[in-house]
Structure 1
Amino acid sequence: MKFNTKLIHGNLKIDETGATNTPLHLSNAFSHSSAEELECIMKGTSMGYAYTRISNPTVTSFERRIASVEGGLAATAAASGMNAIYLAIMNIVESGDEIIASSGLFGGTYTLIKNLKSYGINVKFLDNLDKISLENAIMKNTKIVFAETLGNPKLDVLDIEDVSKVCIEYNVIFIVDSTITTPYLIKPIENGADIVIHSTSKYINGTSNSIGGIIVDGGSIKYKEDKYKNFKEYSRKFGKMAYTAKLRNTVGKDIGASLSPFNAFLNLTGIETLSLRMRRHCINTLAVAAFLSNNEKVTSVNYPSLPSSKYYNLTKKYYKNGASGVLTFRLGSKENAFRFINNLKMILNITNIGDTKTLIIHPASTICASNTEREKEKMGVFDDLLRLSVGIEDIDDIIEDIESALQFIN
C-alpha cells in the first residue's frame, strides 16, 4: 500500500456496521461479560478496553493509522504535543541520566527539557547538533539525543542519518520531533530515528480544531542492552515492542494525559488530506519566501528551500517534496514587526502552525517569552523576527496581504 492510500486506508478496520468512518466511542469505561475477561484485560494478557484513560477504540484507530504512515511498529497518542514529548522522554530516563538536545527547539520544548534538571537529569544543548559536536558531547550516562527535523522557528535542518550513526555507535536513543515536516515530507525512522513525535494539533490535523500528540515507536533493539536497566523486564517479554509496552504500563498510564476520542476522530479526518495540504503548503511557502527575499523592507528571510539558506544542500538531500510551510523573516525592529502584524487583513495572528489558514506570530514576545535572551539567540529568535505559517489559500491573496502590510514599515 502506497503512502497516499495509507493516509486513508492504513490499518483501517471496518466495524460490523459497515461504517466507512471510524466510529466515535465516547465512553469513559467499557462493560465486560465476566470478571475473568476484565481481569485479563487489566493484566494485559488479552486485548480489550477497560477505561478510556488507558485506551479507547477510536484512539487506537488513530494510533494504528499514524504507525502505518510513519512506518513505525506502534504508536501511542497523548493529550498534546508537549505531553507526547514529556512521556517519550520520561519513559527512558532516570535520575542521573543525561539528555543532549538541539538548542534550536521550539521554546516550549526547550523549557520542558531544561526543567528536567529538577528531576536529577543532566541536560546539554548543542547549537549545532551534528556528528562532530555530538561525539564530543556524549557521555556514558547519555540516554537520549533529542532534535526536531526542522527547528521551530530556527529552521535549522537536522542531518538525521549522521546523528543516527553516532547514536547507534554509543547506544543512545534518538528521538526526533517531526511535527513541522510530517511523514509526507520525511519518515525519520527510515533515516535512523528510534522514536518520532508529532504535535498532531498542527499539520496532521490541519484545521486547528483539536489538540493532540503522538509517539511513534520504531522498534529499536537498543533497550535490551545493560545501559537501559529499567527496560530489562519489558525487553525480555516484548522484544522490539519494549518501548511501547513500558510506556503504556508505566508513565503513560500513570500521568493520565490521554487523547480525547473526539480529538482522535478529528485527527483521523484531517490526516486523510495530509498529502494534498502539504504539497500546497510547500508550494505557497516557497513563493512567499521568494517574494519576501526581493522586498527591500525585509532584512532577511529564512526558509531552507532557498538557495541562500545555509541548509540548502541538506534540504535537497532530505526534502525533495519541499521544506514544509513555515518560514521566518526580519523587519529591522520590534516596532516594525508589530506594525506589520497589526496591518494584516487576512493573515491571522495566532500561536499555532500547520493550519489551512496563513498564520503569523512574533515569537520573542509570545511562544519564547519565558526564555532568556541568550536562549532566544540560540533558538534564532530576535525582536524583529516574525514566524509565518503559510496556508493553502490562493498564493496571490497571501502575497497581496503581505505586500499591503509591508507598506506600513519604515
Structure 2
Amino acid sequence: MAKHGFTTNILHSDRRDGVEHGAVHKPIHTSSQYSYPDARELAAVFQGKAGYTYARQGTPTTDALERKITKMEGGVSSLSFATGMAALSALFTTLLRAGDHLISSQYIFGNTNSLFGTLQLLGIEVTLVDPTDVKAVAAALRPNTRMVFTETIANPGTQIADLEGIGAFCRANNLVYVVDNTLTSPWLFQPRTVGASIVMNSLSKHIGGHAHALGGSLTDTGLFDWTTYPNILDVYKKGATAGWGMTQIKKKGLRDMGATLSADAAHRISVGAETLALRLDKICSNAMALANFLSNHPCVARVSYPGLSSHPQHERAAQLFNGRYSMLLGVELADGVDTFEFMNKLEVVILATHVGDTRTLALPAAQTIYYEMGPALRAQMGIADGLVRVSVGIEDEADLIGDFAQALDACRSV
C-alpha cells in the first residue's frame, strides 16, 4: 500500500482496519461484556491474547481510537483513558514505586502539580526543575531516579523545554522519558523524534477538538527497553518486551483503577481527530496574527507566544513544531488595566477553562487554575496576576482581532 500523509491515514484508519457492514467509522460498542463460544479462548484473552472481556479494559471503539493515536504519534501502541489526568495518574502510579524519584518540569499544568503532591504522599520523590535547560535536569539526577516528565509547551507561560537535550540525557541514563504533547498535538510535534519513551495527550483538547468529550491517552514509542526497568511485575513480562510497560499500565490503570474511556466519548474524539491538521493550521495562523497585534497594543505589557521573535525559545519552537507555534498565548495586561473588566468586554471570545477548542477561550490564570498554587509558586512559574491565558480558535482572523481591539480600547478609555 502506498505511503500516505497524516490526514489521509487518520481519515481512512477505521475503514482500512476493517469496520462492520462497510461503515467508514467504527461504531459505538456499548456492550460492557464480550462472550466466547469456547471457554479456552475466553481464558486465553484473560491471559494476554488480543481480545475483549470486560469493557473496563477497552472496547472495539476505544481500540479503533487507540490505533489512530498510535499512527499519529508514530508509536507502537496506545491506551485511552477517561481524561488526560486519568492517563497521567495511571502512568505514574503503575510505573513508579515508593522510594523512586521523578524529575519534572516546574512549568506544569496546575492539576499535574497537584497530582505530584499525591505522589509524594505515596512515597515517590518529585523534583521540579527548569526544563528549558537540560543542565537543570541533569543536576537533579539521583541514584533512584526512574523517570523525567515535561510538557512540550508550558501552560500558560509558553516556556518550551529542551526536548532534544532531555531526550539525549534520558537515553544516556536509561530513564523513562515522558512528554505531554497536549498543547502541540501530534500534528505539530511527535515526541518520539526527540527520544520520548511515552507520549501523553489530553484527547479533550486538540485531538477531539470540539469540547464535547473528555479523554486522555498514552502512547509507547517503542524506544525504551522495558527489560531494563526494575518496576515491571513478573506477571506482565510476557510476549514481546516492547509491550511490557503498556501491559502493566493497562492492567493496573484500567482494570484495577477503572479510568476507562467510554465508547461514546471515544467515537466523538475519533471523528474529531479527522480534522486535526486542518484545524491546527487555521488556529496557529490566527494565533500568530493575534500575538503580533497584542504585542503592539499599549494596554498589553507582554505577550508570551513562541511564534514571536522575542520569545526566549523562539528558535527552538521553529525547529521542533512543524513550522507552527501552537494556539496558546499568555497575555499580560499593562498596569492599570483591570483583568476582569477587560475580559468582561470580550464579545466573541468565550470566558471558559479549556484549551484546544475550535472557539477562542480566555481565562484569568492566576485567579483560577493556578489559584491553589499560591503567589510564591505562581511567581516561580512566571504567572502574573494580570496574565490572561488565551486559547485561540478558528474564528475569522479579523473578527478575533477586532474583539480584542474593542475590549482593550474600552479599558483604555475608562
Q: What TM-score comes out, normalization by structure 1 length?
A: 0.96
Aligned to 2:152: 149
- Cα offsets for 1:110-130 (capped at 9, x unmatched): 111232100000010003443
Is 1:248 aligned to 2:250, yes or no?
Answer: yes
Question: 1:135 deviation in Å?
Answer: 1.4
Is 1:90 aligned to 2:93, yes or no?
Answer: yes
Aligned to 1:290: 292
Contact 2:130–2:137 under 8 Å retained in 1: no
Aligned to 1:216: 219
Distance in 1 (CA, whole Å) between partners of 2:293 and 2:248 is 49
Aligned to 2:83: 80
Contact 2:191–2:199 under 8 Å retained in 1: yes
Aligned to 1:65: 68
SS in 2 for 1:112: helix
Aligned to 1:404: 406
Question: 1:332 deviation in Å?
Answer: 3.2
Off by >6 Å, runs of 4+ in structure 1: none
Contact 1:354–1:391 under 8 Å retained in 2: yes
Contact 1:334–1:383 under 8 Å retained in 2: no
1:38 counterpart (6, 22, 42): 42
- Cα offsets for 1:174-227 (capped at 9, x unmatched): 1000001001101001221000001100000110000000000112333212x5
Contact 1:247–1:253 under 8 Å retained in 2: no
Percent of aligned positions that are identical: 33
Aligned to 2:176: 173
Is 1:110 aligned to 2:83, yes or no?
Answer: no
Is 1:269 aligned to 2:271, yes or no?
Answer: yes
Contact 1:238–1:245 under 8 Å retained in 2: no
Distance in 2 (CA, whole Å) between partners of 1:334 and 1:202 is 33
Give the AA of the match of 2:402: E
Distance in 2 (CA, whole Å) between partners of 1:31 and 1:320 is 45
Question: 1:105 deviation in Å?
Answer: 0.6
Distance in 2 (CA, whole Å) between partners of 1:222 and 1:91 is 17
2:348 counterpart (335, 346, 349): 346
Change (3 A) 1:237 1:38: closer
Question: 1:160 deviation in Å?
Answer: 1.3
2:57 counterpart (44, 51, 54): 54
Aligned to 1:164: 167
Give the AA of the match of 1:26: T
- Cα offsets for 1:208-249 (capped at 9, x unmatched): 000000000112333212x52435554564311111111122
SS in 2 for 1:320: coil
Give the AA of the match of 2:300: V
SS in 1 for 2:44: helix
Question: 1:97 deviation in Å?
Answer: 0.3
Question: 1:32 deviation in Å?
Answer: 2.4
Give the AA of the match of 2:394: I
Distance in 2 (CA, whole Å) between partners of 1:121 and 1:201 is 28
Runs of at least 5 residues in structure 2 that lack an aligned partner in the other structure: none
Distance in 2 (CA, whole Å) between partners of 1:181 and 1:246 is 27
Contact 2:181–2:200 under 8 Å retained in 1: yes
Distance in 2 (CA, whole Å) between partners of 1:310 and 1:266 is 37
Give the AA of the match of 1:37: E
Distance in 1 (CA, whole Å) between partners of 2:200 and 2:404 is 32
Question: 1:5 deviation in Å?
Answer: 1.4
Aligned to 1:306: 308
- CA RMSD in angstroms comes to 1.6
- Cα offsets for 1:340-372 (capped at 9, x unmatched): 111111100010011110100011111112112
Question: 1:48 deviation in Å?
Answer: 1.9
Distance in 2 (CA, whole Å) between partners of 1:223 and 1:43 is 20
Tell me which moved more, 142-151 or 400-409: 400-409
Distance in 2 (CA, whole Å) between partners of 1:197 and 1:248 is 14
Aligned to 2:241: 239
Contact 1:77–1:84 under 8 Å retained in 2: yes
Question: 1:335 deviation in Å?
Answer: 6.3
Question: 1:2 deviation in Å?
Answer: 2.0
Is 1:6 aligned to 2:9, yes or no?
Answer: yes
Is 1:20 aligned to 2:20, yes or no?
Answer: no
Question: 1:14 deviation in Å?
Answer: 2.6
Contact 2:298–2:334 under 8 Å retained in 1: no
1:328 counterpart (322, 330, 339): 330
Aligned to 1:279: 281
Aligned to 1:257: 259
Question: 1:57 deviation in Å?
Answer: 0.3
Contact 1:7–1:274 under 8 Å retained in 2: no
Give the AA of the match of 1:370: E
Distance in 2 (CA, whole Å) between partners of 1:180 and 1:363 is 16
